[in-house]
């Protein structure tokens, strides 16, 4: 796989049982790239390691006054330099390719998992952790996967050089062979402590980042209560903890680096000291001594890769663990689908609560518990409950459908829908049936003032569809963001549309117009609206009241106001003191008349 061929047609099924298993799976899935990197690495390191032998031959040729051998040494050195340049160039290319392709594979896997789990992902894993895995952790994982082949090439080169020195000059080769394993393994006892310190640093940095994000997100509230200094002090303390942890981690890694410099230096001194004695005794020539000395000196270069692979693994192991944790999450439903890929139609029924939404009608659901309403909306969208129970559409369990069919059949708009940055045209570029035009969806959601605000805020945007929307629509009010999200949902024109509090941030007059627009645009289509707004409830064909997780009453809005005190308490926001005398019919009837009068006034002005 080359960079220009990305993304992968299929990133594969990862082994997410643990961090190390995930790293090994990544390595195996780009074995071809690893072998290429290993081959070029062997050429590069072998060419570097062969230079001392060429230098030794040249020095000995000068001592023996042999022009032929000197010319031979020059030719060999030129060949080694060419091989070194070629190997180093393509080693870098293949190593970077391995790094990028490994990172791209992980990002594709994470994107696929996020698309599979949907909103359930952020309820099981913090959104910040998902972002951290898909950014910083991906780089660390790619670093280790890429470094393995270079480390392997360096280790094989060291073995070959040791064997070559033992054959070339046994007396000095033995010293090198005895000393090099000690050099390579000397830092191993320090790695666990260095890894722990690096983990502590990352943990504290994550806490500081989370605290900073919370402070920025709640800055307006903090200013209102005068809490800026309190949170700034907390961030200062967290920042100082990160600094101290970083210094402690850097000290350990600097100690490891110092050992990687000190021990090869001591080995070099031992080789020179022993070699000088052998040269004085006439047992080795000057050229041989120079060769062994140069070889030991150049071996410090491949030995550096032992330190790098240790650092790469210590940093990538927790990153791979976090990635594996996210990738191991599974949907509670049968994502493959045990039924044919056909979009069903008919009534929508939830067996847990007994909720029935007849086909082609607008059903409003009133639930006093927002959490229970959210869980019900998830089940209606095809996510099974903890007991494994799923909603049925036309008698077909949604969790038995392939995921794309289930999402085509039922679309759920959350309480807090997200607007991605870009133009309005890009925001509305979503999979749709084609039966609803963008202009009709925007009109039904009453987005006239939103379009005007977008055009005014975007320089040179004469067409509202080309107006730019900032990240998460931060330049818009909460009601404007809600209406754009509603228009996007209406444009998709699904078989069943589930809206969870779609007008909670909209004023009453606009809400009445939205209720009428949604009813008209969704005529003949199944629509379920979770709301306690009398304006939306009054426009519904059917109102279902849920109490303690079960259907308690079904009827029209005005009918339930008269006959169901618990429904009236939720819709009219009655307190317990107000609700108590409502059972005698006097206070309750008065409250009902007030609500109906308010509805009539709003409808007249709208």
Could you tell me if 309 and 417 lie in one domain? no
Could you tell me if 306 and 433 lie in one domain? no
Could you tell me if 312 and 361 lie in one domain? no
Could you tell me if 318 and 355 lie in one domain? no
Q: What is the pLDDT of residue 100?
A: 92
Looking at 261, 296, 327, the residue that finishes a domain is 327
Alpha-carbon gap, residue 351 to 339, rounded angstroms: 20
Q: What is the pLDDT of residue 586?
A: 46
Alpha-carbon gap, residue 369 to 482, rounded angstroms: 21
Could you tell me if 115 and 185 lie in one domain? yes
| pTM for this prediction | 0.67
The answer to the question of residue 334 being in a domain is no
- Checking if the pLDDT of 303 tops 70, the result is yes
Q: What is the pLDDT of residue 215?
A: 63
- pLDDT tens-digit profile of 36-84? 999 999 999 889 888 888 888 888 888 888 888 889 989 999 999 999 9
Could you tell me if 384 and 269 lie in one domain? no
513-520 contacts: CB < 8 A, separation 24 or more? 513/446, 513/606, 514/444, 514/445, 514/446, 514/483, 514/486, 515/539, 516/606, 517/443, 517/444, 517/445, 517/446, 518/362, 518/444, 518/445, 518/486, 518/490, 519/362, 520/444
Q: Percentage of the chain with pLDDT > 70?
A: 85
Could you tell me if 300 and 382 lie in one domain? no
Looking at 297, 327, 357, the residue that finishes a domain is 327
Query: Taking CA 158 as the corner, what is the angle to CA 156 and CA 162, rounded to the nearest 5 degrees?
Result: 120
257 or 510, which is more confident?
A: 510
Cβ-count burial of 551 within 10 angstroms (0-12 exposed, 13-18 middle, 19+ buried)?
middle
The mean predicted confidence, pLDDT, of the chain is 82
Sign of CA dihedral 283, 289, 291, 293: positive
Could you tell me if 419 and 531 lie in one domain? yes
The answer to the question of residue 460 being in a domain is yes
- pLDDT tens-digit profile of 98-149? 999 999 999 999 888 887 776 667 667 766 567 777 777 888 899 999 899 9
Identify which of 82-86, 122-126, 224-228, 232-236 has the greatest average pLDDT: 82-86
Q: What is the pLDDT of residue 203?
A: 76
The answer to the question of residue 507 being in a domain is yes
| Total number of domains in the chain | 2
Could you tell me if 454 and 379 lie in one domain? yes
- Give me the helix-helix angle, 191-217 and 228-280, nearest 10°: 160
Q: What is the pLDDT of residue 582?
A: 47
CATH number of the CATH domain containing 379: 3.40.50.300
Alpha-carbon gap, residue 5 to 129, rounded angstroms: 29
Alpha-carbon gap, residue 324 to 239, rounded angstroms: 29
Could you tell me if 266 and 395 lie in one domain? no
- Could you give phi then psi for residue 437, rounded to 5 degrees? -85, 155
Cβ-count burial of 522 within 10 angstroms (0-12 exposed, 13-18 middle, 19+ buried)?
buried
Task: Answer for the pair 141, 32: CB distance below 8 angstroms, yes or no.
Answer: no
- Containing domain of residue 371, as a range? 348-605
Closest CA to 482 of 447, 512, 508: 447
Report the Cα 118 to chain-centroid distance in Å: 13
The answer to the question of residue 335 being in a domain is no
CATH number of the CATH domain containing 188: 1.20.1560.10
Looking at 264, 294, 327, the residue that finishes a domain is 327
Q: What is the pLDDT of residue 603?
A: 61
Q: What is the pLDDT of residue 306?
A: 80
Strand partners, 397: 392
Closest CA to 519 of 445, 422, 572: 445
The answer to the question of residue 339 being in a domain is no
Could you tell me if 282 and 429 lie in one domain? no
- pLDDT tens-digit profile of 323-358? 898 888 876 554 455 565 677 888 999 998 999 999
Q: What's the rounded mean pLDDT across residues 280-295?
A: 78
Q: What's the rounded mean pLDDT across residues 190-198?
A: 82
- Checking if the pLDDT of 243 tops 50, the result is yes
Alpha-carbon gap, residue 183 to 306, rounded angstroms: 10
- Checking if the pLDDT of 553 tops 90, the result is yes
Q: What are the percentages of helix, strand and coil residues in the chain, rounded to 5?
A: 70, 10, 25
Residue 603: both structure tokens together: 């409808």
- pLDDT tens-digit profile of 288-300? 777 777 777 777 7
Could you tell me if 231 and 371 lie in one domain? no
The answer to the question of residue 283 being in a domain is yes
The answer to the question of residue 342 being in a domain is no
- Checking if the pLDDT of 558 tops 70, the result is yes
The answer to the question of residue 134 being in a domain is yes
pLDDT band at residue 304 using 50, 70 and 90 as cut-offs: confident
Alpha-carbon gap, residue 358 to 237, rounded angstroms: 57
563-567 contacts: CB < 8 A, separation 24 or more? 566/368, 567/366
């Amino acid at each position: 796989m080359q960079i220009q061929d990305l993304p992968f047609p299929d990133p594969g099924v990862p082994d997410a049982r643990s961090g190390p298993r995930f790293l090994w799976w990544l390595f195996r899935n780009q074995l071809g790239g690893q072998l290429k990197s290993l081959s070029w690495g062997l050429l590069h390191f072998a060419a570097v390691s062969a230079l001392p032998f060429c230098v030794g031959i040249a020095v000995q040729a000068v001592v023996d006054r042999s022009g032929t051998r000197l010319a031979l040494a020059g030719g060999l050195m030129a060949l080694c330099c060419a091989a070194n340049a070629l190997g180093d160039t393509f080693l870098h290319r293949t190593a970077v390719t391995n790094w990028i392709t490994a990172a791209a594979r992980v990002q594709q896997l994470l994107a696929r998992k996020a698309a599979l789990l949907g909103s359930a992902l952020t309820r099981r894993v913090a959104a910040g952790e998902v972002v951290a895995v898909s950014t910083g952790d991906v780089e660390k994982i790619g670093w280790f996967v890429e470094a393995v082949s270079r480390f392997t090439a360096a280790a094989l080169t060291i073995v070959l050089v040791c064997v070559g020195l033992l054959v070339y000059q046994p007396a000095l080769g033995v010293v090198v062979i005895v000393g090099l394993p000690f050099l390579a393994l000397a830092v191993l006892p320090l790695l666990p402590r260095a890894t722990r310190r690096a983990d502590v640093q990352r943990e504290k940095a994550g806490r500081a980042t989370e605290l900073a994000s919370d402070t920025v997100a709640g800055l307006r509230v903090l200013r209102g209560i005068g809490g800026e200094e309190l949170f700034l002090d907390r961030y200062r303390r967290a920042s100082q903890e990160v600094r101290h942890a970083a210094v402690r981690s850097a000290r350990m890694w600097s100690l490891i680096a110092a050992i990687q410099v000190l021990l090869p230096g001591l080995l070099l001194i031992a080789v020179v000291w022993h070699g000088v004695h052998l040269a004085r005794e006439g047992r080795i020539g000057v050229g041989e001594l120079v060769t062994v000395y140069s070889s030991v000196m150049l071996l410090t270069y491949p030995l550096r890769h032992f330190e790098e692979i240790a650092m790469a693994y210590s940093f990538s192991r927790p990153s791979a663990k976090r990635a594996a944790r996210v990738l191991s999450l599974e949907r509670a439903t049968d994502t493959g689908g045990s039924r044919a890929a056909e979009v069903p139609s008919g009534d929508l029924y939830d067996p847990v609560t007994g909720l029935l939404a007849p086909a082609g009608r607008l059903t409003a659901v009133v639930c006093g518990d927002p959490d229970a309403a959210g869980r019900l909306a998830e089940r209606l969208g095809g996510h099974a409950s903890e007991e494994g129970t799923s909603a049925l559409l036309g008698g077909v369990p949604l969790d038995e459908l392939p995921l794309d069919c289930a999402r085509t059949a039922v679309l759920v708009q959350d309480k807090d829908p997200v607007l991605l940055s870009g133009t309005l045209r890009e925001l509305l570029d979503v999979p749709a049936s084609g039966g609803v035009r963008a202009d009709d969806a925007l009109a039904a959601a009453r987005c006239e003032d939103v379009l005007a605000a977008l055009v005014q805020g975007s320089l040179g945007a004469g067409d509202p569809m080309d107006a730019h929307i900032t990240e998460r629509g931060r330049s818009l009010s909460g009601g404007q963001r809600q209406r754009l999200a509603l228009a996007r949902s209406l444009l998709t024109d699904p078989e069943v549309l589930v809206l969870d509090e779609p007008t909670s941030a909209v004023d009453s007059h606009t809400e009445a117009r939205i209720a009428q627009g949604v009813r008209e645009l969704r005529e003949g289509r199944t629509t379920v609206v979770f709301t306690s707004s009398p304006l939306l409830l009054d426009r519904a064909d059917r109102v279902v009241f849920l109490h303690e997780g079960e259907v308690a009453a079904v009827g029209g809005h005005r009918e339930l106001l008269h006959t169901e005190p618990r429904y009236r308490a939720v819709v009219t926001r009655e307190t317990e003191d107000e609700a108590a005398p409502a059972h005698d019919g006097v206070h309750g009837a008065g409250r009902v008349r007030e609500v109906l009068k308010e509805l009539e006034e709003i409808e007249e002005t709208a």
